[in-house]
Structures are given as C-alpha cells and as structure tokens.
Amino acid sequence: MKKLFISHSSKDRKLVEEFIEFLQLGMGVKKADIFCTAYPEMLATGRGFVEEIHKQMQECEMVLFIITEEYLQSAFCLAEMGAAWGMGKQCFPLLTVDYRRLDGTPLLGIQMRKLSSIDDMSVLYDELHKCGILDEYQTAEFNRRLSKFVESVKTSAQVLSG
C-alpha cells in the first residue's frame, strides 16, 4: 500500500517531478510509499487507469494536492479532490496559486500550504513525521535541498505568469 497519493495536473509534470525528488531526497520519503501518475510505471499497460487511481486513493494514508492553475482547470483533478474529500482522506493542499482560487472547492476553510514557502515546506516535513509517513528525520539533507526546491517553484510560477 502506498502512503502518499499525489494529485496533480499532467500539465505540471516538471513541477511534480521536482516535488517528488524533493520528497525523496530532501525529506526521505521512499519511492515505494508514493503513488503518482507522473511515474509511468504506476499505471499498468492495458489496464483501466481510472480504476487504478481510485484503488490507490482508497488505500493511501493521505493525499497531497499540487494545486496550480492547470489543476484548477482540470475536471479530472477536481474529481480527484472531491473523491479524496468524500473518502475522508487526510488532505494536504499544496498551492502555487492564491488561496482565494480555492473558493467553491471542498478545500475552502481548511489549512493550506504554499509550495513556494520555506516555512510551509518545513511544516509539511514536520507533519509527515507526525503522521508516520517519514520514519526518521534527515534535517541536514532537508535544509540543503529546501531552498533550491522553493526557488525552483518560484521561478516556475514567474515563468507561467509572465
């Protein structure tokens, strides 16, 4: 069973790959504990991908939403968000957009974090420990990779908005 389900828009593949790398190398999340369709091998050839996504979401411990403008424009992503909320999953919305963009979604009124914030990513790191997703701290490695990841998110956001 995967511990983390990462909900994202396929149009954000580069950002999602960078985030997964940060989760693994910076935070110490094992690849075996992540379900994310950015990994081509997560969806078996010739099998129904919607059913697999549904199964993985049911079995995961928490869902991380990588919420970008592209995510908010995707009916499939919004369906994943609603499904996670409906299943009562522990949800962690991670934003590259303004909080107000979530008006009218199931996430309105819950705490959210910005991918471009050192403080918010530090809180996420601590919360993943409290939830039992991470086995141990690797604070030095986390700190080495944190600034680089946050700067990359900021740069990506500037390119998209500019």
How many whole angstroms separate alpha carbon 99 and alpha carbon 101? Answer: 5
* DSSP secondary structure, 53-104, as one string: HHHHHHH-SEEEEEE-HHHHH-HHHHHHHHHHHHTT-EEEEEESS-GGGGTT
Domain that holds residue 66: 4-161
- pLDDT category, 159, cuts 50, 70, 90? low
Exposure of 31 by Cβ count < 10 A (0-12 exposed, 13-18 middle, 19+ buried)?
Answer: exposed
- Show which residues are catalytic: 80
Q: Coil, helix or strand for 115?
A: coil
Give the model's pLDDT for residue 158. Answer: 62
Question: Phi/psi at 92 (nearest 5 deg)?
Answer: -125, 95
Looking at 5-9, 74-78, 101-105, 110-114, which range is the least confident one? 101-105
| Domains: count for the chain | 1
Residue 160 confidence (pLDDT) above 60: no
Question: Which H or E run contains 3?
Answer: none
Q: What is the mean pLDDT of residues 1-25?
A: 93
Residue 8: which CATH number? 3.40.50.10140
Q: How far is CA 32 from CA 20, 24, 44, 80, 137, in A?
A: 12, 10, 16, 21, 18
